[in-house]
Amino acid sequence: MRRAAVPAAVIALCAAVVALIVFGVAAKSPDTSLDQAVAAGDRPAAPAADRRLPALDGAGTKAIRDLRGKVVVLNFWASWCEPCRAEAPALERTQRKLAGAEGTVLGVDWNDAMPDARHFTRQYGITYPVVRDVGGKLAKAYGVTGLPETFVIDRDGRVAALQRFSVNERFLRHVLAPLTPPPA
Amino acid sequence: MRTGRAAALALLVLLALGPGAALAAVPRTSLADVENEVMCTVCGVPLDLAREAPAAQRERALIAGLVAQGKTKSEIKDVLVATYGADVLSLPRDEGFDRAVYLVPIAAALALAAVLLVVLRRARRRRAPEPATPVAPLPPADARRLDDDLARFDG
């Protein structure tokens, strides 16, 4: 009985180390449950909708839940990201169209210096609200691993579509059409 | 005479501005000193190893600007945390799962010491000599003969 104590302790120690490594790897891995749900035709609730983030222009904070009742195009970007520059004009044009249809683009600036981000918004004439995701908690909730990434949230606060790379106007028109029907 | 007046005037101006103004432009740290203690949060590697990534280049530019402003390493790290979050620091925070970085080596060392102690104790016990089995006393005739033999050898 006592002879088995040492091997048992060593095995338990090894198992604990392996469990810790597995937990660590799992905790750091991106969450793809949102992609799977949307691909299956479900509309999962928008993650971290209550998380309040500071506005890039310094005017208070904003949460996705504040926009309930509107269609939201949630776009993660950064000023150093080249594809973000390429899609910025399409997003701004979409914002102008959405403004008349109870919708908005909400930019989420991630891993970016504030002066660079402000310069970016001035350079591309961005009029939609932009918040700063310092620490990347919102990005993590959406499983963001690269930039840009875009999530379309319906009026009920559910994710209707997503794109893990840059978007163009054709994609935005296609996913927004059923969510923003023209007034009868 | 004119040189002396100019020097006195310069000294007066410096005194009026105070030592803070004179030191403001003097770098208190360097880019190299800071970049090996912070991460490129997008690349997931220390900043000094991320040479090409655009995010790393912007982060480096931000640090260089702060160095040029005469900020200390600690002040620069504060700005970086406010900009990129706590993950920008190379050393993990002492909270949540990150605490495992500090606790696991201590726990592993303690467990190893305990295992070693048990193994050593067991080995020592195995090596200890067996207690001598009591020998029955010789019969008186044999004892006498043994004494005689020994006395003969001694003699």
User: So what's the ipTM on this one?
Assistant: 0.74
At residue B103, the pLDDT reads: 82
d(Cα A63, Cα A137) in Å, to the nearest integer? Answer: 13
At residue A27, the pLDDT reads: 65
Q: Which of A112, A133, A149 to mutate to test the interface with B (most CBs of B within 10 A)?
A: A112
Cβ contacts of A61 within 8 Å, gap of 6 or more? A52, A53, A54, A55, A131
- 3-state class of A40 per DSSP? coil
Q: How many CB pairs lie under 8 A apart between chains A and B?
A: 54
pLDDT at A132 over 60: yes
Please identify among residues 85-104 of chain B the ones whose CB lies closer than 8 Å to any CB of chain A. 85-87, 97, 100, 104
At residue B2, the pLDDT reads: 58
Which chain B positions have a beta carbon within 8 Å of A23's beta carbon? 97
Query: pLDDT digit string (tens) for B72-111?
Result: 999 999 999 999 998 899 876 666 777 777 788 888 888 8
Q: Is residue B95 a contact partner of residue B86, using CB atoms and an 8 Å limit?
A: no
Lowest mean pLDDT among A42-46, A179-183, B80-84: A179-183
Report phi then psi at A87, rounded to 5: -90, -10
d(Cα B100, Cα B113) in Å, to the nearest integer? Answer: 19
Average pLDDT on A96-107 reads 92
Token representation of residue B147: 């004494």
Query: pLDDT digit string (tens) for A18-34?
Result: 887 777 666 666 678 89
At residue A154, the pLDDT reads: 96
Shortest Cα–Cα distance, A5 to chain B (Å): 9
The separation between CA B151 and the C-alpha centre of its own chain, rounded to angstroms, equals 73
Please identify among residues 30-49 of chain B the ones whose CB lies closer than 8 Å to any CB of chain A. 41-42
Q: Is A165 on the interface with B (CB under 8 A)?
A: no
Q: Is A14 on the interface with B (CB under 8 A)?
A: no
Angle at A34 between CA A28 and CA A37, to 5 degrees: 140
Average pLDDT on A152-171 reads 95
d(Cα A63, Cα A145) in Å, to the nearest integer? Answer: 21
User: Which residue ranges in chain B fall short of pLDDT 70?
Assistant: 1-4, 6-26, 92-95, 129-131, 155
More confident residue, A31 or A159: A159
Q: Is residue B66 a contact partner of residue B76, using CB atoms and an 8 Å limit?
A: yes
Cβ contacts of A92 within 8 Å, gap of 6 or more? A105, A124, A125, A126, A127, A128
Report the half-sphere exposure of A98 (CA within 13 A, side-chain side): 32
